[in-house]
Chains A and B, each alone.
Chain A
Amino acid sequence: MSEATTAYDMAAEVHVTSGQPERRSWHLSRVRALPPGVLIGGGIVSILVIVAIAAPLIAPDDPQAGSLLTRLQGVGTSGHLLGTDGQGRDVLSRLIWGARPSLIAGIVPVAIAGVIGTALGAIAGFGGSRLRTLLMRSLDVLYAFPAILLAIAIGATLGPGLTNVIVSLSVILIPPIARIAESEALRIRSLDFMDAARTSGAGWIRIGLRQVLPNIAPPVIVYCTALVGLAIVYAAGLSFLGLGIVPPQPDWGGTLNDLRNNLFTQPWLSLVPAAAIFIASAAFNILGDGLRELLDVRADRAK
């Protein structure tokens, strides 16, 4: 069968090996000290979230008020630390305010897809083989689409705006999450304690909440954390293409596109929003790596 074909798998750092991946269980007792990834990644993420919340307090300027007299100031101009864009708007303020929609468009779709994907994966993993095949093959269809192009198709149909970005990103993020959840569910299904729980007369809901969820959750959480990094990149990309938040509201991808038009007059300025996207995305990747270490989840289980 055509296996996964998109960037999600790269986010999960799927190791392609010729042997069967070794299966290990994880235990909370393995947690000793916080891995550096959790501290560094978590630290940067916290700062970004605080910046986004405190935007009205810390932004030096109105992000939408520009003056044609102060167009395209370079980085380091007094009064405009990160320069101004083609309409004379303060880039730093636009980035600070832009953190709100950019982070929301990264986190919310992952959360939505996380819930739906986990549910679908668990149903596929614990259901009969027919149901599993039907569900997973349907998701394979979504895999066939280059992620951004599918998001564009949905986004262009629904029109621009933050809500529609969230909808289209949620759709493209469901299949990879469901696949992880399914493989975890299949693994748990084969474990002894499941039999024990069933023979002791526990109901399905009870088993699901008490046994299955706590076991599926860690790998899914680790994966989703790294996926937020990718979703931020995708969301900024959709804005870049004009499918994101409606101008003149600021967000990172839109700011990047604005500054791109002045690439030859202020070349380095355009890299400022790119750097913001990079830092946010890398922070979630690092946090994901750290969580993986913390929860002792093996990456190649995803395959």
Chain B
Amino acid sequence: MHRMTRFILRRLLHMVPVLFGVTVVVFVTIKLIPGSPIAGLLGPGSTPATRAELINRLGLNKPIPIQYFDWLRSTLEGNFGTSISFQSSAGTLVFNAFRNTMILAGAALILALVGGFVLGAIGALWPKGMAGRVTSAISTFSLAIPQYSAGLLLIVLFSVDHTWLPSGGMHSVTGSTGFADLLRHLVLPALAAGLAPIGVVARMFRAALLDVMGQEFVQSMRARGLRRTTIIRHAIHNTLPALLTITGLQIGYLLSGVVFIETIFSWPGLGQLVYGAISARDLPLIQAGVLISAVAVVLVNVIVDVAHGFIDPRVRQ
């Protein structure tokens, strides 16, 4: 396990420069704001003196790198700035919303992985059957169906004429907070967010399983007299590294998609928060949301990398 510890530490170290870069990018978007950033903060009757005073107070006369490190320090202290539209801490708003987003994205990810696994396995184990062709057709078109279209389609199918499933919110207006109620509200948005990834995962997993099944050690297992089910089990074990990589790829896609899904389904998560912030031009809120999402993606990928090390001993080297 000594080697494993070192492996994990190395992955964590890799993360540092990426996180550093992420903060730089977010800082740059702040600096991109056209016009003077203080124009909006100053009242109409401001004098050059109050103006100079404000610039001084906000540190805007300092060199850009200093401004960056000042901003980074306050960000690291958990101060993401103040939301213009809510007049409260952007960090708190974003963190609270992110919890709901994780529920939605997590459900969509599970759907994508389970659905993609089943479809991909069918496609790989019976490659000449209908299933194989259907999965490849699904995934060719899946990327062309944006989550917002999928979401609207699901609402039209399940919520407009028949109120089979709720099309908005996380909980019923009756104030029920039960788990079953949450699940009912989760079905459509999770499906809309996970639809395209199901096809993508199916296709990638199918390719990975076919690749493993064609390798010599699988043939050797047959020569050792192992049952087909046992062989398939070992083969699937060998696709886990690929599955992990696939999972990592989906995270960014899902976190992008939830902006639309949450808007359409009124899911009180980060995406809806960001959507509201766009029309309010609430930039601190948007920046906090984007920063949190990017950090989440980086963290997920570190977890994926570490899990990779646990599954595949060759990676730990």
Report which A residues bind B (CB closer than 8 A).
1-7, 9-11, 13-19, 137-138, 140-150, 152-154, 156-159, 229-230, 233, 236-237, 240-243, 256, 260, 263-264, 267-268, 270-271, 274, 277-278, 281-282, 285-286, 289
| SS of A interface (majority) | helix
Given A2-B305, A264-B160, A148:B259 Cβ within 8 A: yes
Interface residues of B (CB under 8 A from A): 14-15, 17-18, 21-22, 24-26, 29-30, 32-34, 140-141, 143-146, 148-149, 152-153, 155-156, 160-161, 200, 203-204, 207-208, 211-212, 215, 238-239, 241-242, 245-246, 248-249, 251-253, 255-257, 259-260, 263-264, 274-275, 277-279, 281, 283, 286-287, 289-290, 293-294, 297-298, 300-302, 304-305
B259 and A241: CB pair below 8 A?
yes
* B143 with A16: CB separation less than 8 A: no
A2 touches B18 (CB 8 A): yes
**A-B residue pairs, 9 tightest by C-beta:** A141-B21, A2-B301, A148-B256, A274-B149, A281-B144, A282-B144, A16-B242, A146-B255, A146-B256
Q: Which residues of chain A are within 8 angstroms of B294 by Cβ–Cβ distance?
A: 144-146, 149-150
Report the Cα distance A14→B24, complex, angstroms.
Answer: 29
Q: Among A3, A13, A145, which residue has its beta carbon within 8 angstroms of that of B301? A: A3
**Complex: how many Å from CA A281 to CA B148?**
14
**Minimum CB distance partner of A16 in chain B:** B242
Query: Are the C-beta atoms of B29 and A154 separated by less than 8 Å?
Result: yes
| Chain B: minimal CB distance from A300 (Å) | 8
- Residue with the greatest number of chain A CB neighbours at <10 A, chosen from B25, B140, B141, B287: B25
Smallest CB gap from A257: residue in B: B148
Q: B156: shortest Cβ distance to chain A, in Å?
A: 4
A-B contact pairs, 15 of them (CB 8 A): A3-B249, A16-B204, A16-B246, A18-B211, A137-B17, A146-B297, A157-B33, A157-B283, A241-B263, A242-B278, A242-B279, A256-B148, A267-B160, A281-B144, A282-B140
Q: Are A15 and B207 in contact (CB under 8 A)?
A: yes
Residues of B within 8 A of A156 (CB): 277-278, 281, 283, 286
From known contacts A146-B297, A237-B148, infer whether A13 and B281 are also in contact, taking CB-CB under 8 Å: no
